[in-house]
Structure 1
Amino acid sequence: MPHFHPRATEIAFVLEGKIYSGFVDTENRIFAKVIEKGQVMVFPKGLLHFQMNVGDMPATILGSFDSENPGLVKIPNAVFGSGIEENLLEKAFGLNSKEIAKLSKRFAPH
Structure 2
Amino acid sequence: MHPRASELFYVINATELVVGFVEENGGRTVENTLKTGQLSFVPKGLMHWHYNAGCEDAVFLSTFNHEDPGVVTIVNALFDINATSLQAALNVDRALVADLKTSVPPSPVPGIAECLRRCGLEAVDPCELKRCGNHER
- TM-score band, normalised by shorter chain: 0.7 to 0.9
Deviation sequence 1:45-80 (CA, Å, 0-9, x none): 111111011012121110001111111111111112
Query: Cα–Cα, structure 1 residues 16 and 93, in superposed 2: closer, same or farther, change >3 Å?
Result: farther
Q: TM-score, normalised by structure 1?
A: 0.80
CA RMSD after TM alignment: 2.3
Aligned to 1:100: 100
Q: Show structure 2 runs of 5+ residues with no match.
A: 107-132
Residues 1:64 and 2:90 aligned together: no
Does the 8 A contact of 1:90 with 1:100 survive in 2?
A: no
Q: TM-score, normalised by structure 2?
A: 0.66
Q: In the comparison of the two structures, how many residue pairs are matched?
A: 105
Aligned to 2:20: 22
Q: Which has the higher strand share?
A: 1
Deviation sequence 1:7-29 (CA, Å, 0-9, x none): 11110011111211111111331
Residue 102 (structure 1) shift = 1.0
Does the 8 A contact of 1:21 with 1:35 survive in 2?
A: yes
Q: Secondary structure at the match of 1:89?
A: helix
Q: Show structure 1 runs of 5+ residues with no match.
A: none
Instruction: Report which structure shows greater RCO (CA 8 Å, sep ≥6).
Output: 1
Q: Distance in 2 between matches of 1:14 and 1:42?
A: 12
Query: Cα–Cα, structure 1 residues 41 and 108, in superposed 2: closer, same or farther, change >3 Å?
Result: same
Larger radius of gyration: 2
Query: Cα–Cα, structure 1 residues 34 and 94, in superposed 2: closer, same or farther, change >3 Å?
Result: farther
Identity of aligned residues (%): 30
